[in-house]
Amino acid sequence: MAKSRFEQFPMEGVDLDHPNVARVYDYYLGGKANYAVDRVFAEKALASFPFVRPAAKSNRLFLHRAVRYLVKQGVRQFIDIGSGVPTMGSTHQVADELDTGTRVVYIDNEPVAVAHSQMLLEKEGDLARHGVIQADLRDPDLLWRKVGESEVIDLTQPVALLLIAVLHVTQPGPDGTDVGPAAVARYRELLGQGSYLVLSHGTADGVPESRAREMAEFGSMYDATATPVIWRPRGEIEELFGDLEMVEPGATWTPLWHPEENGENAPEIEFDAPNDSVVWAGVARKP
């Protein structure tokens, strides 16, 4: 495999011995912000589990549709936690198609993801309206403070908080416990009135038995990485929205959430059934 620009100019402190979930996901989506170790892992996964790539792309298109929908609802501020590396259209690019006054802060704990986001914003000359922060979603209060200090987002005004395909790969806490639900509960508290929570999460609940077995085997590939996966049941995913008001049609499979918001050049992703997307998603508003 040819070297990417990141291998030609390696970044200090980046682990090149183990695959990283953000960089592997970038490869699933067709991006180039990854290393050989990530591509080897991804190709092995795709060879055994070909459903992964269309599922990843469908999840990305859900992000695009949610951003378009929310801009039309008047939202102009987006906090994208676990944003990964920008590929297949990043949040600010989609939002700017409808309103060039939108503001986005990207947040990730992976150095390559942060650096690549910074490079993209610098290249496009968008650092005046958008920003990128290295932070850990497991520490909501510190992360929220950094967002406020960025001076990109006005936290006294409504925001859209994006948690796209990140909670099923969130690192456990120091004692090995699943800290995702508690962190999301705190984010719901921090959100101001009129803000939105946008969330997607992989699940083996409601998929054919054969696909559920594949997902278990696929998940086991991540057990040796720093971010083992958690496929929560759909009911547990819906609980992450707490008492926020769900936007119609409620929680559903990614292809079914407001398909009319697909952009003109959105790629066609064919599934035999919506649950082949294996990602449960939704948007909710804080009244």
Chain segment 114-152, per-residue pLDDT in tens: 887 888 788 777 777 899 999 999 999 999 999 999 999
CATH of residue 128's domain is 3.40.50.150
Q: What percent of the chain has pLDDT over 70?
A: 93
Task: Tell me how far apart the terminal alpha carbons of the chain are, to the nearest angstrom.
Answer: 50
Number of domains into which the chain is organized: 1
Is 10 part of any domain?
no
Instruction: State the pTM of this model.
Output: 0.91
Is 111 part of any domain?
yes
pLDDT surpassing 80 at residue 174:
no
pLDDT of 9: 46
Is 1 part of any domain?
no
- How many CA atoms within 13 Å lie on the side-chain side of 237? 30
Q: Which domain holds residue 247?
A: 21-286
- Length of the chain, please? 287
Confidence of residue 214 (pLDDT cuts 50, 70, 90): very high
Per-residue CA distances from 240 to 12, 22, 63, 254 (Å):
36, 22, 17, 17
Higher pLDDT: 75 or 14? It is 75
Is 200 part of any domain?
yes
Is 165 part of any domain?
yes
Average confidence score pLDDT of the chain: 89
Q: Taking a C-beta distance cutoff of 8 angstroms, is the pair 81, 107 a contact?
A: yes
Is 5 part of any domain?
no
Is 8 part of any domain?
no
pLDDT surpassing 70 at residue 88:
no
Q: What angle do CA 276, 281, 284 make, to 5 degrees?
A: 160
Is 2 part of any domain?
no
pLDDT of 280: 98
Please state at what angle helix 21-28 crosses helix 52-72, rounded to 10 degrees. 90
